[in-house]
Structures are given as C-alpha cells and as structure tokens.
C-alpha cells in the first residue's frame, strides 16, 4: 500500500527529500509546500563561477527539479502556501493545515518531513530591543542592503557604525559595510554627504579566524597555488582520521590542534591587528571560523531557528527537546539531526546550523530507508548505538561547545554514508592529481559526489562522475597553472604599502633617482570608465570591485634635487577571464579610469608534465628569474605608448594566503627614452 509524505519546504532540503523519496522508495503520493548549493547527482554547468550568485543557485535548483521531479505524477507541488499547523492523530498520521490568503485546507499524511530550513526569523538582542528611547537605529545584518538605506534617516555629519557579533555574518557584514564606505569615499560619484566621517566598529567576544574565499593547499610556498577554500579544508588525503566526535564538546588539546592548523593556513593574524591575535588561552577554546576577503585589512546576532518550527504542536516540540534559548541546539534530534525516536513518522532534512547539501541528501536517503521498511542491519545498528540526543543536551551551554554543533562536514557525511552502506572512497577523485608537499599525497576534496549510492540510476551516477571530474580538473589546473593567482593578488593588495622606487636612466636628458613614499589601494565598486568595449553586458562574474591606486612621496635625483610626486591608477580584476589589469587615470579627474595600461600575465608553473601525470608534485616554476629574486609568482606585461614601449615585469611574494611584498620593473625604450624603473612594495 502506498504511503503519503508531506514535505514542508521546497529549498535544497525539500528537493533532496522529494527526489530521494520518489526515486529510492516505493510509489506513493507526495506533497511539497513552500512557505517561504551541489547535489551528488547533478553537476554544475562547466561555465559556472566557483562562488555562484544567488540567482545561479536558484537556476541550479530549477534544473534539479526539472530533471528529477517535474514530470512525476506522484508529486504534488504547491507554491506560495503556508503551513499554519500540524496535528498528530491517534494512528500516528499527520493532519497538515495549509493556509493562503484566500483559503485553507487540511490534508492527512502518513509521514511529515520538516525541510523548512534552519535560518528563520532574525534575532535582535534584547539589549537593543529594550532601548526604545534610543535614537540609534538597529538593523539586523540580513536587512542590510546598502549605505544609502542604512544612513537614510541619520544626520549628515558622520558617525560610528557598530557591528555586533563575531560569527559568519558579523564578520561578513562588517567587511561589507567597510568596503561600501571605501567605495563611497573613493568613487568618482558619491551622493552620501560627509561619507568620509563614518567609521565601522566591530564588537566580538573573542578573536576569530578569517578565511578568504580562496586559500592555498601549499601555505609554506612563496608562490603558492590557490583554490576555493573547500579544497584546503575538506582535503581528505590530508586528514589523519576523524576530526573528532562529530557532535561532542571540543577538548583543549583538540582546539589547540585546530588553531595550529588554521595558523598554518592563514599565518599570524596579528600582522593585521593585535586584536586578531589568538593567545594561549584562546587557543584552548573551540575556534570560530569566518569568511571574508576584505575584513582583515579593514580592521550579527544570528537567526531564530525556532520560528521555522512554529507549525508543530507544543507536545511534539516538548518531545523533541525544544529550547528556543539555545539557538544552535533548538532541538535534540538523533543521528545527525534526522529524526527523534520518540516521535515516529516525523523526519528532518537540513535542520542544523550548517546545512550542507550533501548532508541533506544523505539525511533524506536515511529517512527513505527507515520509512519504507528497508533499513539494513548496518543502519539499524548505527541508529541503536547513536547517542546524539544525550550529546546535544550535554552541549547546551557548555563552554567547549563547537561553533557548529552539527559536527565536522566530512565526518558527518562519512557516518551517514556508512549507515547507508555507501563507501565514499569508491568515488574518490580520479587520478592523476599532483601531490602536495606536506604529505606527498594528491589533493582530494570531499564533495557530495563521493557518496554515490549503488541504488542510484544511470543518470545520477553519470552526473556524479561528471562532478568528480570537474573537481579533479580544477585541482590539476590550479596546481599546475597560475589559475586564481590573479584574484589572490587582487584581494591581498588592499590597504597601504611602503614604496621605494629606483629610476635608472641611460640618457642624460632623463635624471636617475629614488622615489620613497606610500601606495594605497582603495577598494570600490567597479566603474564603467574606459570599459565600453571590454565589458560583456550580460556578464555577472560576482567580483564587481576595483581599486583606486594612489601613491604619494618624494623623488630625489642622484644629483640631490627633490620634489613631491603623486600618481593614480585603477586596478581591476576580471573573474570570467581570471585577469588582473592596470588602467591609466584621467588627468582631469584622477578618480576615473581613462584607458588600459596593461594586463598582468602570470608566468606558468611547469605544465601538467610527466611528473604530474605520474602523481608527483608539479609545483616547480618555469621562470625563476624575478625582480625580487624569483621566490614569488612572476608576471609580465607590455604597453606601446606611441613610439615608446614599456616592458613590464612583476613579482608577488606570498606568506600563506597574503602578499608579503611585491615589485614592478618597467624597462622603457623609445626614440627619446631609455630607462628602467624598479619599485618594491612592503606592508606599511
């Protein structure tokens, strides 16, 4: 006899649940109610950027729906509806009350699957809510859009913008607002009065680790390769075993080991500010990880997870151990937040503070097996041995509770896969991949496509294989070519540099001498000046930023004559082409770009050579001759200015993920010019 399941929510969790229930279970009637980023069995389009925009994620989900769910006669999809409440009958079936603006209806289902998401209503701390007399507006980070709206009702005399909270959103929003301020101050057109009188102040309870979006699997190299952050964090070949109890407290020793790993990947953050330093006491506490490309150099309060459970009866919430004040552990659920043994026929997919799509899929597969009566002996034993409910109760309020109570992503995926008799190693990345210097093993980033079920159909397995190949190709490309180095340089240029430039002229008409001063890279939104023939109107690369470069200092000739000098350029990064470029500034408006000076072409490493194909390290560079000794990434460029040719050489030396120093050399030749300019930049 067929069974019916009501899935509340049609985001990634709901789609994963519906696909699993329909493709991996007996036939039945299913209903998805919507009230409000990669699956193992659908690869992204080859042209998709590494960090897709929200609309691209939506398009991916639409493809997933069209491929696996659209034409299913046993699926009913209702959009724009709200689940008002659910009731549990004596026969353990569920009555779901669905309401809309015009009508409401009640339907009975055999099972109820909650896939409504974890991040619900924004939380504003009580200390801000209660201060009704304050004239200072309080805005949750999720409501922030731009500076104009944030400052709309404020006196136009400047002020302090306070950001409270040190989790992902707090660091991200502080960095975002700081970048918006920088843009408004240094852009050609700014409509915000006295914008340079505003400043951002970030309040956190403890120092956090701030990861850029691109990191390196070779942090000891001065010319490291760069890859999206997940390649470093989820490289299974670099793991010695499980990270630890996936839902337990973090011991002081385990915390210190993780802090050491992060410091190896990121370097000493006190280089940016002493306030970002982790002292010995802080390193005994569970680390807090955040992500931002701009926060460190510029040196929220969260969501109420309970609001997405408002439709559940109080007696059910009580059995689930509901505790609204413990926002990261609002429910005490079993086996990686999939269900609760005290409430049969109720399941959860994606209800945790770090809802990875791969975890959602495996949660859905587990519930499918459980509800269809096809739980294997291995799964049954895993569920019986599980003590997640007790661990969650123990973690509530514990000072050593991890930042993400749900546990380490790879460990959670591995345990769910084991319960489902899925071997992640069977779908490991396809060789050849260059090995890394730390362990002489190939880079193998864990993805959902590592967990392909033997029961998947041919199309799902084909898509999983395609996804694994995409991951492999990207790793090979980044480890053997300069891919993503241009962006790593672009990100790390932000801020002030000490500049010393030597001019050596071989003609008496041009003096030789030395320039000493500073160079500032001011971040701002990308302008269109000079790019009319260079920009694709349909392009949405996700990196819509540029720098206004301003250098100031004093030039002294070898004969002793000196004068103040300044110079302006605009530096840009094209994500679609992975190209860094430098543009002349207009003489009559130094904040605007005039025309292209040159594009920076990074010299390649040894190509995917015989050593790489044999699984050996391919991190040996072709050109070791650089203006700083050849220890960093070298690059070249050229520019013809009427009859004068500028031969340009660069070198960028990294310390972990950040630029330590860099240099430019211009050799200029023409009918009346013959000189060399060599400049060295070090952090101010």
Residues 44 and 178 placed together within one structural domain of the fold: no
Mean pLDDT lowest among 130-144, 289-303, 329-343, 485-499: 130-144
Residue 65 has a CB neighbour count (10 Å cut-off) of: 18
* Farthest-apart Cα atoms in the chain, separation: 100
If phi > 0 it is left, if psi is from -120 to 50 it is alpha, else beta; for residue 194 that is: left
Domain end point (choices 399, 415, 437): 399
- Residue 163, pLDDT above cutoff 50: yes
Burial class (CB in 10 A: 0-12, 13-18, 19+), 214: buried
Q: Which of 6-15, 16-25, 48-57, 385-394 has the lowest mean pLDDT?
A: 16-25
pLDDT of res. 323: 86
Contacts with 457 (C-beta within 8 Å, 6 or more apart), sequence order: 23
pLDDT at 171 over 70: yes
59 and 137 belong to one structural domain: no
Do residue 79 and residue 152 come from a single domain? Answer: no
Provide the pLDDT for residue 355.
Answer: 66
Does residue 167 form part of some domain? Answer: yes
- 658 and 552 belong to one structural domain: yes
**Regarding predicted confidence, which is higher, 655 or 290?**
655
The angle, 0 to 180 degrees and rounded to 10, between the axes of the packed helices 54-68 and 12-23 is 10
β-strand 227-228 against 28-33: which pairing, if any?
unpaired
pLDDT in tens, 489-509: 999 999 999 999 999 999 988
Two tokens, residue 149: 């709206």
> How many degrees, rounded to 5, is the angle at CA 313 between CA 308 and CA 316?
95
Residue 302 has pLDDT above 70, yes or no: no
For residue 318, pLDDT over 70 is answered with yes
Asked whether residue 65 falls in the same domain as residue 152, the answer is no
Does 457 map to a domain? Answer: no
Q: Is the pLDDT of residue 194 over 80?
A: yes
420 by Cβ neighbours in 10 Å (0-12 / 13-18 / 19+) ranks as: buried
pLDDT band, residue 408 (cuts 50/70/90): confident
Check residue 473 and give its pLDDT: 92
Query: What is the model's pLDDT at position 139?
Result: 79
- 490: domain CATH number is 2.40.128.20
Encoding tokens for residue 135? Answer: 């004239």
Contact predicate 582/566, CB 8 Å: no
Q: Both 186 and 264 in a single domain?
A: yes
C-alpha separations of 286 from 165, 268, 306, 392, 681 in Å: 16, 18, 25, 16, 37
Quick check: helix, strand or coil at residue 338? coil
Candidate from 299-313, 543-557, 590-604 with smallest mean pLDDT:
299-313
The answer on 313 and 238 residing in a single domain is no
On the question of pLDDT at 580 being above 90, the answer is yes
pLDDT at position 159 is: 86
Q: Tell whether 198 and 261 lie within a shared domain.
A: yes
> Mean pLDDT throughout 87-115?
84
The reply to whether 281 and 313 lie within a common domain is no
Q: Which domain holds residue 78?
A: 3-120+304-399
Q: What is the pLDDT of residues 526-578, one digit of tens each?
A: 999 988 765 554 455 567 899 999 999 999 999 999 999 999 999 999 988 99
Mean pLDDT, rounded, for 470-489: 94
Cα(274)–Cα(272) distance, integer angstroms: 7
Distance CA 651, CA 624 (A): 10
Whether the predicted pLDDT of 429 surpasses 60: no
Lowest-pLDDT range, 111-115, 139-143, 256-260, 450-454? 139-143
Helix/strand/coil for 475: helix
The CA distance from 279 to 269, in Å, is 11
Q: In what order do the strands lie in the sheet with 104-109?
A: 82-88, 94-99, 104-109
Domain end, chosen from 399, 415, 449, is at 399
Q: Going by C-beta distance under 8 Å and a sequence separation of 6 or more, which residues neighbour residue 66?
A: none
- Pick the last residue of a domain from 364, 383, 399: 399
Q: Is residue 40 part of a domain?
A: yes
Same structural domain, 76 and 148: no
Please indicate, yes or no, if residue 477 is contained in any of the structural domains: no
Indicate if the pLDDT at residue 618 is higher than 60: no
Global pTM value: 0.86
In this structure, the number of other CB atoms found within 10 A of the CB of residue 389 comes to: 19
Residue 110 forms part of a structural domain: yes
Does the pLDDT of residue 435 top 70, yes or no? yes
Query: What crossing angle do the helices spanning 377-385 and 409-419 adopt, rounded to 10°?
Result: 130
373: domain CATH number? Answer: 3.50.50.60
Q: How many domains is the chain partitioned into structurally?
A: 3
Residue 416 placed within a domain: no
CA–CA distance, 375 with 381 (Å, rounded to integer): 10
Which segment of 142-146, 226-230, 265-269 scores lowest on mean pLDDT?
Answer: 142-146
Residue 150 inside a domain? The answer is yes
Least reliable range by pLDDT among 17-21, 67-71, 204-208, 653-657:
17-21
Do 496 and 520 meet the contact criterion of CB atoms below 8 Å apart?
Answer: yes
In a domain, 508, yes or no: yes
Residues 497 and 373 both lie in one domain: no
* pLDDT value of residue 455: 87
> Looking at the structure, do residues 153 and 284 belong to the same domain, yes or no?
yes
Q: Can you tell me the distance from the alpha carbon of 593 to that of 597, in angstroms, rounded to the nearest whole number?
A: 10
């Amino acid at each position: 006899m067929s069974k019916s399941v009501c899935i509340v929510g049609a985001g990634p969790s709901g789609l994963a649940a519906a696909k699993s229930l329909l493709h991996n279970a007996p036939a039945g009637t299913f209903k998805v109610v919507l009230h409000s980023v990669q699956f193992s069995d659908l690869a992204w389009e080859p042209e998709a950027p590494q960090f897709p925009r929200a609309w691209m994620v939506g398009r991916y989900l639409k493809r997933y729906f069209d491929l696996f769910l659209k034409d299913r006669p046993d699926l009913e999809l209702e959009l724009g509806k709200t689940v008002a409440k659910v009731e549990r009958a004596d026969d353990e079936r569920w009555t779901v009350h669905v309401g809309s603006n015009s009508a409401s209806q009640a339907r009975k289902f055999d099972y109820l699957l909650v896939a409504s998401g974890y991040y619900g209503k924004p939380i504003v701390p009580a200390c801000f809510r209660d201060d009704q007399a304050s004239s200072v507006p309080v805005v949750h980070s999720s409501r922030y859009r731009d500076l104009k709206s944030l400052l709309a009702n404020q006196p136009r005399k400047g002020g302090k913008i306070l950001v409270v909270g040190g989790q992902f959103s707090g660091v991200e929003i502080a960095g975002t607002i700081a970048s918006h301020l920088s843009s408004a101050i240094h852009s050609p057109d700014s409509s915000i009065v006295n914008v340079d009188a505003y400043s951002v102040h970030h309040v956190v309870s403890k120092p956090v680790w701030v990861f850029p979006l691109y990191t390196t699997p070779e942090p000891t190299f001065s010319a490291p390769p760069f890859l999206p952050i997940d390649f470093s964090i989820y490289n299974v070949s670099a793991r010695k075993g499980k990270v630890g109890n996936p839902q337990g407290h973090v011991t002081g020793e385990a915390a210190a080991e993780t802090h050491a790993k992060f410091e190896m990947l990121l370097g000493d953050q006190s280089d940016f500010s002493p306030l970002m330093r982790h002292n010995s006491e802080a390193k005994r506490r569970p680390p807090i990880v955040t992500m931002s490309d701009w926060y460190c150099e510029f040196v929220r309060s969260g969501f109420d997870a309970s609001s997405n459970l408002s439709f559940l009866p109080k007696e059910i919430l009580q059995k689930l151990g509901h505790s609204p004040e413990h926002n990261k552990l609002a429910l005490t659920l079993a086996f990686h937040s999939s269900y609760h043994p005290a409430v049969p026929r109720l399941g959860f997919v994606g209800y945790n503070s770090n809802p990875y799509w791969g975890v959602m899929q495996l949660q859905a597969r587990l519930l499918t097996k459980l509800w269809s009566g096809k739980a294997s002996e291995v799964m049954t034993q895993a569920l019986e041995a599980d003590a997640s409910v007790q661990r969650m109760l123990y973690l509530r309020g514990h000072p050593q509770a991890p930042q993400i109570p749900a546990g380490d992503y790879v460990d959670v995926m591995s345990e769910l896969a084991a319960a489902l008799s899925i071997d992640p190693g069977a779908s490991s990345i396809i060789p050849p991949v260059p090995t890394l210097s730390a362990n002489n093993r190939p880079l193998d980033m864990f993805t959902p496509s590592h967990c392909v079920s033997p029961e998947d159909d041919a199309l799902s397995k084909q898509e999983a294989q395609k996804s694994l190949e995409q991951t492999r190709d990207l790793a090979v490309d980044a480890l053997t070519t300069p891919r993503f180095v241009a962006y790593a340089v672009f990100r790390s240029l932000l801020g002030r540099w000490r500049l010393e430039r030597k001019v050596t002229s071989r003609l008496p008409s041009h003096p030789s001498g030395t320039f000493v001063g500073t160079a500032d890279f001011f971040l701002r939104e990308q302008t269109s000046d000079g790019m009319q023939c260079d920009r694709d109107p349909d392009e949405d690369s996700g990196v819509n930023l540029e720098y206004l470069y301003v250098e100031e200092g004093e030039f002294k000739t070898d004969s002793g004559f000196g004068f103040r000098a300044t110079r302006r350029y605009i530096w840009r990064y094209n994500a679609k082409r992975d190209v860094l470029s430098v543009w002349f500034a207009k003489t009559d408006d130094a904040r605007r770009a005039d025309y292209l000076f040159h594009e920076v072409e990074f010299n390649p490493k040894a190509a995917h050579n015989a050593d790489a194909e044999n699984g050996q390290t391919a991190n040996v560079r072709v050109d070791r001759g650089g203006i700083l000794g050849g220890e960093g990434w070298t690059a070249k460029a050229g520019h013809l200015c009427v009859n004068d040719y500028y031969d340009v050489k660069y070198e960028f030396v990294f310390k972990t993920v950040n630029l330590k120093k860099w240099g430019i050399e211009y050799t200029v030749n023409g009918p009346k010019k013959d000189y060399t300019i060599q400049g060295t930049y070090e952090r101010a």
